[in-house]
Structure 1
Amino acid sequence: MNQIIINIDKFQTRAAILENGKVLEFFIERYGEGTINGNIYKGKVANVLPGMESAFVNIGLEKNGFLYVNDLREFEEKYLDGIENSNRPIEDILTVGDDVVVQVLSEPRGSKGARVTTHFTVPGKYLVLMPNNDHIAISKKIKNEKERARLEELFKEIKPDGMGVIIRTAAEGKSIYHFEREIQYLSKKWEETDRKISKAKIGDTLYRDNDIVTKILRDIFSNQIDELIVDNEEAYWEIIDYINAFSENNLKTKIKLYRDSKDIFEVYNINKEIENALKEVVWLECGGYLVIQKTEALISIDVNTGKNTGTLNLEETVVNTNVEAAVEIARQLRLRNLSGIIIIDFIDMKLEADKIKVTEALEKSLSKDRIKNNIIHFTDLGLVEMTRKRTGNPLFYYFQEECPKCNGTGRIKSKKSIVESIIKEIKELSTEEDIRKIKVVTTKDVCHKLEEIYLDFINSYLAKKGKILELVESIHGEKNDYNILLEK
């Protein structure tokens, strides 16, 4: 069973996509912290970098947006000098201080600002309107050639002049009635946006993409979903209104209002799955496990047999573990919203046929992913290279922050290192003449380490200086931390 579960309270909106009780995707929008993907802003060029063929654009955010020259061509044709198919370098198109309108392609992350473009798109349920591009594109997921030809001919007749469309997968089999109504709606939204450009100030939002409930209704809710359950009555009726306006009426029977006082995410075990998705280790049903780690450059996923000893032979155990891992990896990528370069280290397999079997399992599972991904190949080292398009923030962004002790390394100083630091500090402090007692307050483990090896040496050293040591166990101290107090 495929379900959409939506929880709305006064602080946030959360939604989860479930398949047979397992969470496939998770969305969250905290009030005041909405995503900016798809938003269109009035910006000003802050810097032009000819060597990088790009410019930085101030759009009113903490960090300037990054605009690559190829993402500027359509804007150049329509709003700047009207030159079509220009190959001019960016420094001949923009200068510092120029106004430019941009749409956010990807959210700011880490030290990087948002990636922006002037290839504007206004998405709907069945199509995406491209105001600056007179072109018709069809989703690759529509495989039937007759259907592709039908849709192309139909849209040649109804698309607005001077505008293009991307025909989405949901359009397959739909009638002209659905498309005309949506084109009219999207064209009106773009006209409203276009009118704002001349009067807008730098940093103004000209177009804002929909909230997560509307995005889910637009992009995900379809006949493949068995039920949508929401725990907010006001949102329930808004969903009904949206379906009446843009979707098939039969979808209304799948929408249900949850009235119980218990947290809907607890009832459907979503909170537990999210908690597990924030861990590095993911256990497989066969007893094997994955280790998922993120670095600045890429995502690494290591597959291990773990407790899976198999029942027949080693090779079969390895292949079965890898196949199950491939399915789970595809789910974890969607659930955690991991993107960029992804390297998968499957357990070594000898036969080429086994590698193909695992790759096919991975490809099949990834084919359900709405976000574009691409498996490159098995490398000579036996690693699978793949990519996944960056869309929105990863799951950990909403629930975790950098550790102030380890500064993101995932490790802290060892007990031995802490002891060495304490001894070094004691030696430095022992030279001060007006100090009589040095008091070290630290954790139980560090105290034991000091007493076990170094205490006699420290006491002897301080006695020669006319000073004494007091060692105190800290009840509330942080792991492997310490404080030194001085008494006259």
Structure 2
Amino acid sequence: MTEELLINVTPQETRVATVENGMLTEIWIERAQKIGRVGTIFQGTVKRVLPGMEAAFVDIGLEKAAFLHVSDVQAANANQAEPSIARLLHEGQTLAVQVTKDPLGTKGARVTSKLTVPSRYLVMMPYEDNIGVSVRIDNEAERERLRSNIELLRGESKSNGYIVRTAAEGAETEALQADMEYLAKAWKGVQERRKSSKPGAVIFRDLPLVQRMMRDLNRGNIERIRIDSRETYAQCVTFCNEYVPELETCLEHYPGERPIFDLHGVEDEIDKALNKRVSLKSGGHLVIDQTESMTTIDVNTGGFVGKHNLEETIFKTNLEAAQAIARQLRLRNLGGIIIIDFIDMTILEHRRQVLRALEKALERDHARTQVNEVSPLGLVEMTRKRTRESLEQVLCSECSVCDGRGMQKTLETVGFEIAREIIRQVRQFDIVSVTVLASSEIVEWFTEERSDDLAELQDFAGVPIRLQAEQYYTREHYDVVLQ
């Protein structure tokens, strides 16, 4: 399994695509005006304590207060059994909290006061004393070696706990020690900023998206990392040279005129991932419905009739669907409760094989998943850890035309698409000017909200850009006319 990373950088957003054997499997999007906050530590203020829910709402300076459950509160007495939220927190109290889930839909962020600081090989848990090893390291001898090394390196004080990350497999003792020293300095900085920071202030922020990807990659499978920004490429070379030298040879600046996401059809795959229907090679298809509470996936045979009998048709369609579902979960970043309605199978062994195929395909998923047995109704219930917004939530918003019953791309998403299309055309053709025909709301977004970005785009393209509002164009409908 070879892996390639394609990194597209513009002033407004950074996009990272993971391609496995020529197929897009995951996409990360970080926009300058909406950077993910998972891992960020804030100086928070307790706004409300809810004894009935054993939880509290904490103001961390965002639009919505963050949710803190009693199980995520660092108690002064670690041995206290089932502590009450009212005994641990009070309104107006200041405490440092770390975001574990970004705000999703109508919900605020989920936070914890059990702080952690990550590095390449380790995650430090300042208020704990235990040592954990990633379950993805399955060699028992290696797990014991790593645990013993960390125990030896931290000495008798046991002032901090650690989680050994998957990347630490095979790491030398010296490298682990360097990581621990780096974490000690980082935690000291957090403590110093806590003393002087006002409520709502950020006192620790994880690395930017691209560097974070470099740190957390499964480096054994990476073949190459292509970056279309010369500045970001230079930053990655410096970062890799200091922290992950084995990745430096994989880095490659991509100067091509063809947009980097046109390679392997990434742009087309992103568009397909916003559709409910996913076609299968056999002729069957999936229907994926994402709601705030859960995601449902329905498997249909479609036009696939098989060669022998109906049971064979159903079995082969379900096997193919299991592979496709695992990929779609990663690509769309679907999390929470997921209900899969496979086509009913009468043969018990077929059910087992389909379930095993799904579990096997999910092994490549970086997010933690849990799959239950097939229910009497033929449904598979599973969960996938959700820490950030799904692809649809990042790129789309509720449709105002149908009163919230459907989704449409946000103004920002369409605007960035237009900008990329202009750059694509300018690189390919010798033109004098560009006229963009679009809906009035897109034209207003460019001229009123993003006039600076429009000017920057015009300078970058080197030609004048004219915007023309078309009365009958919908938000997602636009044309780029070259002159």
Relative to 1, partners in 2 of residues 1:83 and 1:395: Cα closer, same or farther, differing over 3 Å?
closer
Partner Cα distance (1:305, 1:146) in 2: 46
DSSP-derived class of the 1:88 partner: coil
Q: Deviations over 1:99-142 (max 9, x none)?
A: 11100010111111111001111112211111111110011111
2:247 aligns with 251
Partner Cα distance (2:295, 2:230) in 1: 40
2:30 aligns with 29
1:49 aligns with 50
1:469-480 paired onto structure 2 within 5 Å: 476=472
DSSP-derived class of the 1:380 partner: coil
1:110 aligns with 105
1:358-377 paired onto structure 2 within 5 Å: 358-377=354-373
Deviation at 1:251, TM superposition (A): 2.5
1:136 aligns with 131
Matched, 1:193 2:190: yes
Partner Cα distance (1:19, 1:340) in 2: 25
DSSP-derived class of the 1:52 partner: coil
Contact 2:24 2:264 in 1 (8 A): no
Deviation at 1:221, TM superposition (A): 4.9
Partner Cα distance (1:88, 1:384) in 2: 36
Relative to 1, partners in 2 of residues 1:99 and 1:90: Cα closer, same or farther, differing over 3 Å?
same
Partner Cα distance (2:80, 2:142) in 1: 31
Matched, 1:271 2:267: yes
- Of the three residues 221, 225, 236, the one matched with 1:228 is 225
Partner Cα distance (1:354, 1:30) in 2: 44
Partner Cα distance (1:252, 1:197) in 2: 35
Deviation at 1:406, TM superposition (A): 2.3
1:87-486 paired onto structure 2 within 5 Å: 87-159=82-154, 161-247=158-244, 249-410=245-406, 476=472
DSSP-derived class of the 1:408 partner: coil
What amino acid is the match of 2:226? I
Partner Cα distance (1:62, 1:385) in 2: 33
DSSP-derived class of the 1:102 partner: strand
TM-score by length of 1: 0.81
DSSP-derived class of the 2:34 partner: coil
DSSP-derived class of the 2:42 partner: strand
Partner Cα distance (2:273, 2:78) in 1: 49
Contact 2:4 2:225 in 1 (8 A): yes
Deviation at 1:272, TM superposition (A): 0.4
Partner Cα distance (1:69, 1:307) in 2: 52
Deviation at 1:246, TM superposition (A): 1.8
DSSP-derived class of the 2:182 partner: helix
CA root-mean-square deviation: 1.6
Deviation at 1:8, TM superposition (A): 0.8
Contact 1:38 1:103 in 2 (8 A): yes
1:71 aligns with 72
Deviation at 1:313, TM superposition (A): 1.8
Partner Cα distance (1:314, 1:87) in 2: 54
TM-score by length of 2: 0.82
Contact 1:283 1:290 in 2 (8 A): yes
Partner Cα distance (1:351, 1:178) in 2: 52
Deviation at 1:211, TM superposition (A): 1.1
Partner Cα distance (2:81, 2:310) in 1: 59
Contact 1:37 1:392 in 2 (8 A): yes
Deviation at 1:189, TM superposition (A): 1.1
Unaligned runs of 5+ in 2: 408-470, 475-483
Deviation at 1:83, TM superposition (A): 6.3
Unaligned runs of 5+ in 1: 412-474, 479-488
Partner Cα distance (1:46, 1:398) in 2: 29
Deviation at 1:16, TM superposition (A): 0.3
Structure index of larger Rg = 1
What amino acid is the match of 2:61? G
Partner Cα distance (1:34, 1:410) in 2: 25
2:59 aligns with 58
Partner Cα distance (2:365, 2:265) in 1: 22
Contact 1:182 1:246 in 2 (8 A): no
Partner Cα distance (1:288, 1:10) in 2: 41
Partner Cα distance (1:366, 1:159) in 2: 35
